[in-house]
Chain A
């Protein structure tokens, strides 16, 4: 189960991502423990975690937010493939950055990407999910961390 300090790692990683990559800070809502698997948005980048901890970290965002994020990154390709690329890259960056605190034995996978409202997110049985709400330029997204 995620400890408070560990949750802070992901909150800070998310904040840092938007400040640097999107050049505009995001506002992070109060993280909460989800009783049921959280709903996801249009695109979801999933990182499987193994090693010292096991589980998943995923970033889920609506197409509208990703479009604006791409524009801020000076991208002009807003295709389905590019949206998939972006959510994967966001999830990968936040998860990889978490190794600063979790250490090298926090092994992250290459991203897998799911699209649609009800994709199957692989989760460890019994693992509960912490939801970190993200608000950026009037758009909402989530980072979800589910670790043993």
Chain B
């Protein structure tokens, strides 16, 4: 996987980044897609669990991933480890209802770069994405 090709120039000359959304809820996936205010962040794939996420990741090579934790088949924590192993430069924002500090710490130790608790406002989501992309 070529991380140098990750940043692609968009039509207006601005750098664009590829986004993958991982959540077992269709509603949540659509919400995150709709709420994203960053023109340079282009959605390239979505997944409903860690197994699908891994496959989609290999196909689409995203730069930024939003990751739910409680999912069937493969949970988010395990998935984070696998994605970071494939592409250490990937930026991962965990978006989860699990509100205990230990889980947030574990996610960051596995390689996540940010943590946002559900429920969240559009503003909170975009602030978290902005922090991720700095």
> Which residues of A line the B interface, CB within 8 A?
16-17, 20-21, 70, 73-75, 81-82, 85-86, 88-89, 92-100, 102-104, 106, 108-110
Contacts and interface: CB of A to CB of B under 8 A. Distances in A.
A81 B119 CA distance: 21
B97 A93 contact: yes
Interface of B: 24-28, 30-31, 34, 70-72, 96-100, 102-103, 117-121
Contact of B70 (A21, A75, A102, A110): A110
Contacts of B99: 96-100
Q: Dominant SS at the B interface?
A: loop
B98 A89 contact: no
A92 B119 CA distance: 11
B26 A99 contact: no
B30 A96 contact: no
A99 B98 contact: yes
A93 B119 contact: yes
B133 to A, nearest CB: 23
Contact of A97 (B24, B34, B97): B97
